[in-house]
Structure formats: structure tokens, C-alpha cells
A and B are shown apart, each in its own frame.
Chain A
């Protein structure tokens, strides 16, 4: 399937292994990525905090660019925060024709216009709803047998439920467990899996921010997870890049590897760990990977 692909900023900046692993995984899932390289940052909720119309217009521009991609079935992102920030703007744009027309007046300078009804899905939703768990299962080459994986969703992709289309027919807040299971792994449930990583307040209240990250990582350690997996690069920054500092704040050793969702999928689809950028993490996923054979360690045991 062809998708208008919004990679976000951080996946091309401080977590380049995310964008890279998505590019490697896409062909194995028959996804054709048409990158929206003209689009700008979603604002991650902060532009909306500063000026709502500005955030809505900048994101409407991205949506309009996505709607211009010939033959694309939908727009896809790889960032929980992008999903949440875009969904919020789209909710306002779709709800009110007058407001949409007002925003489109600004976009008209570029010859762009957003039409109500864009489908914008995070890679996680696309995996379950478009590709399907059975199809995903059938593509697995290296099942993650005995690998204990804790999901970490990120706030923006699980709340508020109504805006994100989460209901009994679309239990999008349980898709990570379904995907881990389809890849042959063991799901580890732990207290912090749908809580906040603390990233949004890292510059305002560093201690509280790192306490959040450290506490959830600690919960996952206590639940005996081998690694975490997240669809959000901002969560990854606090959970992986900042993990050594989080360890000092909560006063315990954590050493919990945190994988991006496309990396976990790529491992199961048989890709080389290095190719997926797993060597680029601050907490090396040595509990996940046997580096000598590039085979999932737990599966070989």
C-alpha cells in the first residue's frame, strides 16, 4: 500500500534510527512510503499552546500536502506525539466548516487546501488495521520467542480516547500487546505502560521528568521485561537517552533497552540488528540481541 509518510522531526534528528528502521521495514510489509518532506513540525502541542490557529494552519498544510500524494491510501506517522498533535488539530478542522474555510484562506497563498476527512494513522494502527495481525504473523522470519517485551505507548496515542478513535472495535490502546504477540514475543504488562515518560517537562522540572521515566523503567525491570518498545521518539529520548540520569534520580540500576516499534518489527521480519540501528541506543539492547549471531538471544536459549 502507498502512504503519505510523515516521519516527524526527532526521527530524523536525535533518533535517526527510527526513520532509518522504518525505511528498512516498509518494503517487507509492502508499504510504499512517499515522504512528506515539504511539511513542517506538528508543534508537538507547544505551538497549539502558543497559538491554536497557527498550529491548526501548519498542520492543515501538512494534511493538504498528504492529500496531494497521488494514489496514497492514507497518511502515516511514526510518532505518538505527532499523532496526538495532528489529531487534535484535525478534530477542530473537521468539526467546523467555517473554521476550515478560514484556515484554507491562509493556505490558498500556496495553492493548498485541506479537505475534511483525512485518515492519519500511526504505524502501530496501520500494522493492525491495514496490514492485519495474521498477515504480520505470516511474514515473521525470526519469531521473538521467549523475549519479554513491555509496551510503552506514550500519552498522545492513548488519550483522549474519543479523539483518537479508541473503542471496543478499535482497541488501539491494546495494539502493542497484539503486535508483540503476533511477532512471537511475550507481553509484559507493568504499571507505567500507558503513563507519561516525562519528556514534556524535561526543561521545566527535570527531577519530576526523570522521576517519571525512571519509575516506569523500574516498574518494567520489576516485571522482568527484557526490553521496552515504543511508538514515540520523544518517549525514547527520556527512556533511553536520559536513562543514565533517570537512574541517578530514582537511585537504582535500570539498564532497560528501549526499542522503536519498527525496530522490533524489523527484528522479527529477519533484518539485521545493526541495519535497524540497534547499536545506536544509549542503553544497548544486549539483552535482546546476541551480537555475535544477530539472533534474538532469548530465542536461541
Chain B
């Protein structure tokens, strides 16, 4: 790192998205060239442009060290903290070497790079009752809980409320009412807290809400966006897991039924029996689901799609009716795995955010992919973004 810090100042060109809703003018792009050492941050570059060329550039910032979460922007189209993005890296990732800086998405722009966090992000945080609803009676002095029981929620506690995940949430892009990744990660912080008294109520609320935990489209955008490795999508999956498996909440959004259908169909067939997925998601995890009113209605509305698929030879009627299976000996082996794991008194979960990665060297073995030139290291040695979900 010392070498990077020794490099002399270079010129960096910034392309800033400018917009002042009060002016009545349309948004426009504005370019400025600044001079800074390459290891300096995008935030420092924006501030230099403001100081030297145009005092009207709007940017919000405070700590300048990735703690306060104020300077969330999009750098080259990706949500980032401006203070946490080095200029050399930003330039390397920029088209034609010009660093493009825009306000975050999914939130209205107040001015230039400043978005209205109150209108979206903080409203959603408030939606999930972001405080402890303590078990009674409240002890006179401090609560005593085991260290292990709190470790589980430390990942969500790392959130600095910068809004980067909200900015690029793809479910929110089409469904602005979705509670969203930051607020749902905050919800897990209390659902997973052993001192909280209302786990069921919290989960039932978030499961029954059509824009709650089952509205997440599993796109990993928030996992990628988070500068603090909070893994919001992973927290949403944990909320779903506890809601369905522990609290047995059956929601009105088909969330629990959809999960049970996929898990159950793979147990029964080894492969996904797609034709059974819709009826079971709407009508319950049984072959008879298709005769329930909810499933019947949905199947009827999908009839044109089904007919077209069959006519085109896309849907093989035999597979649509009977499904496809793996060989019976293998299916038995798969079912034995299900039986063993699902009968454990407690789920066994590995959270890499907590335990990290061990440092043993990769063994040399005559197995697929460990030969020379194997790329496995690419996918297996990184710790960033490697938390459980």
C-alpha cells in the first residue's frame, strides 16, 4: 500500500449528474478534471471540483471514512460510498477513463448527488419497528444473554444506513412499496435478538405483507452493493427460514407454500417438477393442490401460456403430468439426506461472516478441477460477500 500512497497526483475527469428540481431545468451532465493522488477517494475528487470550479455542486458527506454512511452515490453505475472508492479503481472501471457519478436510485433527488433518504429509506426502516420489544419483566440491571446468541445478529448491526442497497434494489425498482433490503436486514437484527419478545408477531407481519419478505426477488444486488458486508438478501432469507420452518407461518403471498413446494418436489422427484410448482404454490404442498380454488384460478389464468407451450412442443405433456425423476437408487439416497438433516434438533448453519475462511492449503488430488489451470480459486478464496444466506 505504501507504494500506492507514494504515487504523485494525476488528473481525473469526473462526469457529474446535476439536477436542481427547484430550477425547473432538466438534469444534465457536467465534467470537471481534478488533480489528486490515485489512492484518494472519489469523494475528495468531488469536493475538489466543488472547491475549485463550481461551488453549487450538491454532495452530502461527513466522516469521510466509511463510517457515517452519508456519501452514497453511484460510481460508474454501481452504488458505492464516494469516500470508500479509490480514484484509480474508479478510473479503471470507467468507460473511456471518465468517472461517472450519479445520485443513488430508487429515491427522489433533492439536488445533484443528494437524495431524499427520509422519503424512502428512513420510512422503510421505521416500518419494521426498529427497536427492541423487550421480554417482561425487564431486569433491573443489564440483560444477561450468551455471547453466542448475539454473534448471530452482529452482521446486520454492521449496517451504516448508507442506502446503497436501497438504491439498486431491483424489486423496489418495479414495486416501490417493497420494504426493501436495508429495513429487512434491520428487522432481522431484532428477530434474531434473544431479548426480543415478539419474534412471531414481527415475522407474521413481514410475511403477510405483500411487499414484505416474500417480495424479494433474490437478485443479489444488495449483497453486491453493501460496503459493510451486511448481506441484506441473506438476512431476508433467514427471516423467511425462521418464519416458515420455526414459526410455521403460512402467508397469503404463497411464500411458505412456494418454498414447501420446491423443497418437497425435489425430495419426491430429485428434480424440479415444474408443472406442479404453480398449483402447489397456490394450493398447498400436495398433488391435490390443483383442485383448490386458489390454484384452479391461477391455472385457468395461465391456460393460454400452457396451451401455447404444449402446441409449440416446449412442454412435453408426459413430463408436465408425470414429471421427471432421477434413478430410484439415487432418489433414495437424496431422501436419506433429507431425512437425516431435517431430523436434526437444530439447524446446522455455517456463517462465513462469523467464522471466516480457514487457511489450509488446497489438497492436490486427482479430482475434477484440481488439475493445473483450475479456476476454482476464483470462486473459493474470497471472503468478501461470502457470508451465509
Using a CB–CB cutoff of 8 Å, the interface residues on chain A facing chain B are 4, 9-10, 12-17, 37-41, 43-54, 56-58, 61, 66-67, 69, 72-75, 84, 87-88, 90-92, 94-99, 102, 106-107, 109-110, 115-121, 125, 129, 155-156, 159-165, 167-168, 170, 195-196, 198, 200-201, 203-205, 208-209, 211-212, 215, 241-242, 244-245, 279-282
Contact = CB atoms under 8 A, between A and B. Distances in A.
A299 to B, nearest CB: 25
B34 to A, nearest CB: 24
A203 B258 CA distance: 7
Chain B CB count within 10 A is highest, among A39, A95, A96, A110, for A95
A161 B224 contact: yes
6 contacts: A40-B270, A74-B369, A160-B220, A163-B386, A196-B170, A241-B305
Given A159-B224, A212-B217, A280-B312, A48 B374 contact: no
A84 to B, nearest CB: 8
B380 A94 contact: yes
A45 B272 CA distance: 13
A78 to B, nearest CB: 15
A9 B352 contact: no
B376 interface: yes
Interface of B: 92, 170-171, 173-175, 178, 210-211, 214-221, 223-224, 237, 240-241, 244-245, 253-255, 258-259, 262-263, 266, 270-275, 277-278, 281-282, 304-305, 308-309, 312-316, 319, 323-324, 326-327, 330-331, 333-334, 336-338, 340-342, 344, 347-350, 352, 355-358, 360, 362-363, 365, 367-371, 374-380, 382-386, 388-389
Given A95-B356, A244-B305, 15 more contacts: A9-B272, A38-B326, A38-B327, A40-B270, A48-B389, A50-B259, A117-B374, A117-B376, A125-B375, A160-B223, A164-B378, A170-B378, A201-B217, A204-B258, A282-B309
B263 A215 contact: no
A49 B349 CA distance: 11
B375 A200 contact: no
A170 B389 CA distance: 25
A281 B312 contact: yes
Given A12-B271, A119-B368, A49 B259 contact: yes
Contacts, number: 295
B369 A279 contact: no
Contacts of B375: 119, 121, 125, 129, 165, 170
B386 A208 contact: no
Contact of B245 (A51, A102, A244): A51
Nearest to B218: A200
A37 B126 CA distance: 49
Contact of B271 (A13, A61, A110): A13
